[in-house]
Amino acid sequence: SDPAPAPAALIGFNAVSSSEADDIIVPEGYSYHVLGAWGEPILGSMPAFSVNNTGADQAQQIGSHHDGMHFFPIEGESPYEGSSEDGLLVVNHEYVEPRFMHQDSIGQPLNSGAVRLYGAENDQYRPTDEVLKEMNAHGISVYRIRKQINNEWQIQQDSRNRRITALTPMEIQGPVRGSAFVQTLYSPNGTMTRGTLNNCAHGVTPWNTYMFSEENWAGYFVNGGSNSRDTAQYGVRASGRGRYGWELAQSGEDQYIRFDASIKADDATGDYRNEPHCFGWMVEVDPFDPDSVPKKRTALGRFAHEGVVFAPAVEGQPVVCYSGDDARYQYIYKYVSHDNYFASTANGSLLDNGILYVAKFNADGTGEWLPLVYGQNGLTPANGYTSQADVLINTRDAATLVGATRMDRPEWGAVDPNNGDVYFALTNNTSRTEAEIDEANPRASNSHGQIVRWAEANNEQAAVSFEWDLFLLAGDGGESGNANFIGRDMNGNVLTEDAYMSSPDGLWIDKDSRIWIQTDVGEGSQNRNQFAIMGNNCMFAANPETGEIRRFLTGPIGQEITGCITTPDQRTLFINVQHPGATTAADEWANGTVRSTWPFGTNPPRSATVVIWKDDGGVIGT
């Protein structure tokens, strides 16, 4: 790649101010438009968006709650080189808000996230098509887009346009494949499963395929019984109903009732106890082959996978990638392939055989990668582990056993393509006590989060040790009067207004080493108390050499900004707005005063992609 330009050239725009407007605001000299909102048709009979759309309609439309995303240049052989005017956009859809999805709900005083249940108290059900629609609004959208003469982009009809949903058949690969942990009624030999859940961030492999994560899958299940380890470790509900009550679909079909994992039979393959084991993975798909079966890559571990980020592949060396587990006190992981990378033959099998490590951050600025290998470091029968599949199914417990550092909610990672430095966003952790702070997680009641950065030993990405520092302590300029809320850059300087930020989440580093940071203050906290000064969730550019940070974009009401990729020429930037209007309270919904009508000035608000360009045709960020 080209050498990085001088730092002064990295960030050339004038910062935008924080904002509470129900709008997108970009710097002077930049323009944007909205592309690919939830419900836009991309397939089949191309049903137009309506809140009356059926479940079958939704399977032909873009899903909801856009998150991680990549632009694959059309006919490209590399994920970052090729056309900057024509490509496949691949978008994750993390979750749904039923109150925005079903015509019956309009005018009803539903609580946030609530679903409508029918029937007697002990025999409740959900209308089957509502459940189907919600499942089909999850997953991944793949669709072709082309740049128009006015810099706007349009969705194209293309044979590669595709939806992957919570029902799509998928293969289980890697050490867990075929094990007793994943034998189900659907796949008695434990090689297949159905669907993907809560697809947050993503990954792009060096061999030009896409990976989607399964983050907060646990809440979709209820299990009143024998999988208590999943409850203790991952938060699978032990009573009540799953997040959306999909197991209560009126039809009683297997594809729905499987979300009640407490339905037991004498033979484990005859019930649903293993269904939760089929989730919590990174999943790979070839976006250019609409018939390709997605593959769950179990060697990368099972947890609340935020996403995965690959180090640039080096011919003849192992493939290395990094993953965060986004929950309070959870860990950062690294996978190193057993076989070496050769561009001419590389494929997803490199992700099936390797070593999964977990990070330990020492107080002196050094760090170690601790292997999670069956038979080592106490991962032995004496401690209840019986195989590598067992270690991977129970990744969180295994990482705790070997002594990993408990982090403040690891979200996205990014690797600087010019020097291999790795950055991870640690979004917040309000539970951390003074007694629990450490050098990498240095604040108690951590509302605003931080970004940690490390360099692998000897510049070898597969090394088992590293040196780290904090690139950012997010926060304010001291206005709150609480020392724990003050933000500081990598030099220890208090942040300026242009950089006030809370809860960094999305992270991406472009070809010039410009760091893009996106925020996700939870909708219950936005614009209140210590978060008021931050405004709506927004996006920043940062310079890794100087530590300078400037606010680049602010988003509408109630959303988070997430997803970040440019075209190879860096002249078009794609970002996502997820869950606009999520701060709308039940009574506001009932009386028609939904706080956000983004992007089209109509109810319901809709997640969408935003396309940004510089009016002078320059590189985004300059």
| Site residues (vs Ca ion, CB under 5 A) | 200, 411, 505, 520
In this chain, which of 97, 130, 306, 408 binds ligand FEO, going by CB under 6 A?
A: 306
Region for residue 230 given its phi and psi (left: phi exceeds 0; alpha: psi -120 to 50; beta: otherwise): alpha
- Tokens of residue 298, six digits: 């179990």
Nearer to ligand FEO, 306 or 368 (CB): 306
Binder of residue 284, out of ligand FEO, Ca ion, none (CB less than 5 to 8 A by kind): none
Q: What is the C-alpha to C-alpha distance for residues 277 and 182, in angstroms, rounded to an integer?
A: 6
Output the smallest distance, CB 326 to Ca ion, in A.
7
Nearer to Ca ion, 411 or 510 (CB): 411
Number of Cβ within 10 Å of residue 94's Cβ equals: 27
Nearer to ligand FEO, 135 or 425 (CB): 425
Nearer to ligand FEO, 38 or 272 (CB): 38
Helices (H) then strands (E): counts for the chain: 8, 28
Q: If binding is defined by CB under 6 A, does position 325 make contact with ligand FEO?
A: no
- Residues contacting 509, CB < 8 A, separation 6+: 414, 415, 416, 417, 423, 515, 516, 544
Output the smallest distance, CB 507 to ligand FEO, in A.
12
Q: What is the C-alpha to C-alpha distance for residues 491 and 477, in angstroms, rounded to an integer?
A: 15
Q: What is the C-alpha to C-alpha distance for residues 81 and 195, in angstroms, rounded to an integer?
A: 31
Nearer to Ca ion, 82 or 449 (CB): 449
Give Cα 520 to chain centroid, integer Å. 12
* Interface map 75-104 toward ligand FEO (x if CB under 6 A): -------------------x----------
C-beta separation of 146 from 154 below 8 A: yes
Binder of residue 94, out of ligand FEO, Ca ion, none (CB less than 5 to 8 A by kind): ligand FEO
Nearer to ligand FEO, 30 or 210 (CB): 210
Nearer to ligand FEO, 260 or 408 (CB): 408
Q: In the window 483-522, what residues touch ligand FEO (CB under 6 A)?
A: 505
Q: In the window 463-482, what residues touch ligand FEO (CB under 6 A)?
A: none
- Tokens of residue 227, six digits: 């999988």
Output the smallest distance, CB 310 to ligand FEO, in A.
19
- Tokens of residue 61, six digits: 């439309």
Q: In the window 271-300, what residues touch ligand FEO (CB under 6 A)?
A: none
Nearer to Ca ion, 256 or 412 (CB): 412
Output the smallest distance, CB 618 to ligand FEO, in A.
31
Output the smallest distance, CB 293 to ligand FEO, in A.
25
Q: If binding is defined by CB under 6 A, does position 129 make contact with ligand FEO?
A: no
In this chain, which of 22, 97, 215, 390 binds ligand FEO, going by CB under 6 A?
A: 215
Nearer to ligand FEO, 161 or 441 (CB): 441
- Tokens of residue 383, six digits: 């401690």
Instruction: Please name which of 283, 284, 335, 282 lies closest in space to residue 310, comparing C-alpha atoms.
Output: 335
Q: If binding is defined by CB under 6 A, does position 411 make contact with ligand FEO?
A: yes
Q: If binding is defined by CB under 6 A, does position 200 make contact with ligand FEO?
A: yes
| Residue closest to Ca ion when measured from CB atoms | 520
- Residues contacting 501, CB < 8 A, separation 6+: 448, 472, 474, 475, 487, 495, 517, 519, 534, 538, 540, 549, 551
Binder of residue 230, out of ligand FEO, Ca ion, none (CB less than 5 to 8 A by kind): none
Q: What is the bridge-based pairing of β-strands 450-456 and 465-473?
A: antiparallel
**Single-letter code of the amino acid located at 348:** G
Please state the φ and ψ torsions of residue 411, each to the nearest 5 degrees: -105, -125
Residues at the interface with ligand FEO (CB under 6 A): 94, 200, 215, 306, 326, 411, 505
